[in-house]
Amino acid sequence: MSYDLGKITETLIQGKVDRLTELTQEAIDSNAEPAKILNEGLLPGMDNVGEKWKNGEMFMPEVLRCAKAMSKSMDILRPRLTEGELGSAGTLVIGTVAGDLHDIGKDLVGMMFEGAGYKVINIGIDQPNENFVNAAIEHKPDVLGMSALLTTTMPRMGEVVNSLKEAGIRDQITVMVGGAPVTEEYAQEIGADLYGANASTAVDVTREYFAKAKN
Amino acid sequence: MKINQTVNNSTQFKVLSENQIEEIFYSALEVLERTGGVIYHEEALELFKNSHAIVEGNRVRIPTTMVEEALNFYPRKITLKGRNGKRSLHLQKDTVAFGTGSDLPFTYDRKSGERRRTSYNDVTNAAKLVDALDNYDFFMSHGIVGDAPNPQTYDRHQFMAMLENCTKPMVLTSVDGEGLEDLWKMGCMIQGGEDEFRLNPSFVAYIEPISPLKNDRTAVEKLLFAAEKKIPAMYTPCPSSGATAPATIAGMLVQSLAETLLATVMCHLKNPGMPLIMGGVTTVLDMKQSSYSYGAPELSLASAANTDISKWLNLLMFSTGGCSDSKILDEQAAAEQMMNLFYSYLSGANLIHDVGYIDHGTNASLESLVLNQEMMGMVKQFGKGINTDDEHLALDLIEKQGPGGEYVTTDHTFEHWKEWFLPKLQDRSDYETWVKNGSKTMGDRVKERTQHLLDNYKPEPLEEGLKKELWKVVEDADKRHA
């Protein structure tokens, strides 16, 4: 058996979900280091996809297909990677706040994070404040994402931030908020760390934030 | 199995009913029998004298039978081939092509923001953009070559400026019959002889009468030459409702049609079977500014009605859209251009010209050409109508994704989203992204795109040998008129 990391990159860019899973498995079977598959096979592929999206050469249905391919490969790789090797590809817990039944925005953010190699736990819509806190305790995510599409449900996000403080875990977690009526200013006002204006910038903003934190 | 089904493969649009068209047609025939038109051209008058028409001085009155006979001889299809060798433009019923207008004396200077006289170079730049932008199917010069050595030969220089950077079929203006003859000779050189040009014409000659019901010497000279050589030509009345035509749209359409029908008889008497195209820039005179309006909603309405009439008569139609009265490319320009683009397209006119005009047909703007590329794309998308077959009704998919499901990652979306219009200049980003990208207006983006195309687009060059031959015709004309 042999493996070709270039082929993995190329297949990921083409968004061939099943083929990429096969190639990832073949690489593991050929004793390729999992970290090498991630860093030299998959990540350069997703970087390329991200670049193409920004330049208007790729569009959402295509990008999401690549993200799905990435996610399926990561399912195989993740158990074989150490915490350190996972690098920036951490865990995201995401949901829509209580009283709000909007799905697609947070789903898109989740998919984009999966595309970046994240493990994504989507707790769903209309989630009471305590569910966010409980999920944070249970999954110990790097990022907790909250979405609100209505001006009437926006205040729930600030309440969750306060509940995290009360639970004593606020500083162990990075809070990101988003949704059409939300702004950067509002995010700061309620004490969130990050604001994602849309699905693509959410990932970029998070990456920049952790890169800065490292330095 | 289903029976008695009708499917619309495109959107449907019509202004006039068949009975209304008949009313207008009978009225135009009545105008030709009762009022007639005037002609300032000896040969044409002679042709009418030798027919059943009545000629009194310059006034010609024409019996209906002559009109009906002439109408039988005009083609329902003309195919044009540009110098790129593609028979790209099929003029036939409800097949629409977009193109620029011509001969604008001024140009909006992109650096100074002021208007100045149009030059040869401005026309080559317009040619480049039209060649680059795929929603333009044909090219009229946009600007007029104002720096030709002699205004009497500007048309040959203009054709060269157009040919230099544009490979698409064209619509050409000419100074007079002699000018058209030179242009035709040049066209024959490009297509490989007279017979080839007849089968594969590379241009249509633009000719216009003077409303109301007046045919001047040079217009008729060009028309008769076109008839003799069977050069495709449009004879396009430009009446202004309330000034050179009745203030009612119906009255303007009657008069405009009478002008067209007179030309059909005249060409038929000269040489039956020339490829004549019906035309008409039918609009109102602005009663406050006394200007001929290119942005009036009445232009859209009258033009669409005129196209209805042309289709009923089995004549091809030269119409108007994408033009504005605004002095610069601004909100007014976009609003007016979009409206007349939209309705001219839906009407199904064959050649829609004047796309990109600003300042009621006096000012050329390269940026306007670029903005209209985007707007034409939007309009064409609307024209596609809606597919309602099983694949497009997507019942199985709706069932599969269920309430609260999503469609963005489905194969169905992956396969069908590309049927949508893909904006190149419209901004649909969220506010933060827009700010991050420099808070650019449509105008800013249009400017950048225009500069980018001018800097980077390389049209197929005109073959050197042919270019020399063509210039020889131009130089000979300059010598004759020196």
Cis bond upstream, residue B212 (ω within 30) = yes
- Chain B residues with CB within 8 Å of chain A CB: 404, 406, 408-409, 413-414, 417, 429-433
Report yes or no on B2 lying in a domain.
Answer: no
Helix (H) / strand (E) containing B107? strand B106-108
Sign of CA dihedral A99, A103, A108, A111: positive
Report yes or no on B243 lying in a domain.
Answer: yes
Q: Say yes or no for a CB contact (<8 Å) between B409 and A183.
A: no
Best of B415, B418, B432 to disrupt the A interface by mutation (most A CBs within 10 Å)?
A: B432
Cβ-contact B283, B296 below 8 angstroms: yes
Report yes or no on B293 lying in a domain.
Answer: yes
Cβ-contact B279, B246 below 8 angstroms: no
User: Are B350 and B406 in the same domain?
Assistant: no
User: Are B261 and B338 in the same domain?
Assistant: yes
Q: What is chain B's length?
A: 482
Write b or e for each residue in A181-209: b if 16 or more Cβ atoms lie within 10 A of its Cβ, otherwise e. ebebebbeebebbbbbbbbbbbbebbeee
Retrieve residue A185's tokens: 């200013």
Name the residue among B81, B215, B189 with its Cα closest to residue B138: B81
Q: Of chain A residues 79-118, which have a CB less than 8 A from chain B?
A: 103-104, 107-108, 111
Nearest CA in chain A to B432: A197
Cβ-contact A12, A46 below 8 angstroms: yes
Q: What angle do CA B89, B91, B96 make, to 5 degrees?
A: 85
Percent helix / strand / coil, chain A, rounded to 5: 60, 15, 25
User: Are B291 and B406 in the same domain?
Assistant: no
Cβ-contact B255, B211 below 8 angstroms: yes
Report yes or no on B362 lying in a domain.
Answer: yes
Best of B414, B429, B437 to disrupt the A interface by mutation (most A CBs within 10 Å)?
A: B414
B87: amino acid identity, one letter: R
Percent helix / strand / coil, chain B, rounded to 5: 45, 15, 40
Q: Is B13 exposed, middle or buried (0-12, 13-18, 19+ CB in 10 A)?
A: middle
Retrieve residue B213's tokens: 């019901």
User: Are B275 and B155 in the same domain?
Assistant: yes
User: Are B345 and B233 in the same domain?
Assistant: yes
- Distance of alpha carbon B21 from alpha carbon B34, whole angstroms: 20
Q: Say yes or no for a CB contact (<8 Å) between A107 and B433.
A: no
The dihedrals phi and psi of A48, each to the nearest 5 degrees, come to -65, -45
- Distance of alpha carbon B162 from alpha carbon B203, whole angstroms: 12
A185 has a chain B CB within 8 A of its CB: no
Retrieve residue B278's tokens: 């019906």
- The pLDDT of residue A9: 96
User: Are B176 and B277 in the same domain?
Assistant: yes
User: Are B378 and B397 in the same domain?
Assistant: no
CA B192 → CA B186, B199, B466, distances in Å? 10, 11, 11
Count residue pairs from A and B with Cβ separation < 8 A.
34
Cβ-contact B294, B360 below 8 angstroms: yes
- Distance of alpha carbon B119 from alpha carbon B144, whole angstroms: 7
- What residue segments make up the domains of chain A, in order of their start? 5-86, 91-214
Order of all β-strands in the sheet with B318-320: B97-98, B351-353, B318-320
- Distance of alpha carbon B36 from alpha carbon B473, whole angstroms: 39
- How many Cβ atoms from other residues are within 10 Å of residue B70's Cβ? 21
Give tens-digit pLDDT for A62-103: 999 999 999 899 889 988 887 777 766 789 999 999 999 988
- Distance of alpha carbon B66 from alpha carbon B32, whole angstroms: 10
Reported ipTM: the value is: 0.82
Report yes or no on B6 lying in a domain.
Answer: no
Kindly indicate whether the domain formed by A5-86 is annotated with CATH number 1.10.1240.10: yes
- How many Cβ atoms from other residues are within 10 Å of residue B192's Cβ? 10
Q: What 3-state class would DSSP assign to B115?
A: strand
For chain B, report the end-to-end CA distance as a whole number of angstroms.
75
Q: Where residue A211 falls among pLDDT bands split at 50, 70, 90?
A: confident
Q: Say yes or no for a CB contact (<8 Å) between B413 and A61.
A: yes
User: Are B369 and B246 in the same domain?
Assistant: yes
Total count of domains within chain B: 2
Q: What is the largest CA-CA distance in chain B?
A: 80
Share of residues in chain A with pLDDT > 90 (%): 71
A59 has a chain B CB within 8 A of its CB: yes
Nearest CA in chain A to B415: A61
Report yes or no on B194 lying in a domain.
Answer: yes
- The pLDDT of residue B2: 87
User: Are B136 and B174 in the same domain?
Assistant: yes
Of B408, B429, B430, the CB nearest to A108: B408
Please state which CATH number belongs to domain A91-214.
Answer: 3.40.50.280
Best of A109, A198, A200, A208 to disrupt the B interface by mutation (most B CBs within 10 Å)?
A: A198
Q: Are strands B351-353 and B318-320 parallel, antiparallel or unpaired?
A: parallel
Report yes or no on B364 lying in a domain.
Answer: yes
Q: Say yes or no for a CB contact (<8 Å) between A198 and B409.
A: no
Nearest CA in chain A to B403: A103
User: Strand runs (DSSP E) across B159-293, as ranges?
Assistant: 170-172, 203-207, 214-215, 233-235, 240-241, 276-278, 283-284
Nearest CA in chain A to B413: A61
User: Are B312 and B398 in the same domain?
Assistant: no
B431: amino acid identity, one letter: Y
Whole-number CA gyration radius for chain A: 18
CA B237 → CA A135, B31, B214, B418, distances in Å? 75, 15, 10, 41
Cβ-contact B132, B450 below 8 angstroms: no
- The pLDDT of residue A103: 85
Report yes or no on B446 lying in a domain.
Answer: no
Find the domain containing B414 and state its range: 393-419
Name the residue among B109, B181, B108, B97 with its Cα closest to residue B140: B97
Which pLDDT tens digits describe chain B residue by residue (482 residues)? Answer: 889 999 999 999 999 999 999 999 999 999 999 999 999 999 999 999 999 999 999 999 999 999 999 999 999 999 999 999 999 999 999 999 999 999 999 999 999 989 999 999 999 999 999 999 999 999 999 999 999 999 999 999 999 999 999 999 999 999 999 999 999 999 999 999 999 999 999 999 999 999 999 999 999 999 999 999 999 999 999 999 999 999 999 999 999 999 999 999 999 999 999 999 999 999 999 999 999 999 999 999 999 999 999 999 999 999 999 999 999 999 999 999 999 999 999 999 999 999 999 999 999 999 999 999 999 999 999 999 999 999 999 999 999 999 988 898 899 999 999 999 999 999 999 898 899 899 999 999 999 999 999 999 999 999 999 999 999 999 999 999 98
Q: Say yes or no for a CB contact (<8 Å) between A197 and B430.
A: yes
Q: Kindly tell me if the per-residue pLDDT of A1 is higher than 60.
A: no
Of A64, A103, A125, the CB nearest to B409: A64
- The pLDDT of residue B13: 96
A192 Ramachandran zone, left/alpha/beta (phi>0; psi -120 to 50)? beta
Of B408, B414, B429, the CB nearest to A104: B408
User: Are B212 and B135 in the same domain?
Assistant: yes
Give tens-digit pLDDT for B406-441: 898 899 999 999 999 999 999 999 898 899 899 999
Q: Say yes or no for a CB contact (<8 Å) between A198 and B430.
A: yes
User: Are B271 and B301 in the same domain?
Assistant: yes
Residue B183: which CATH number? 3.20.20.480
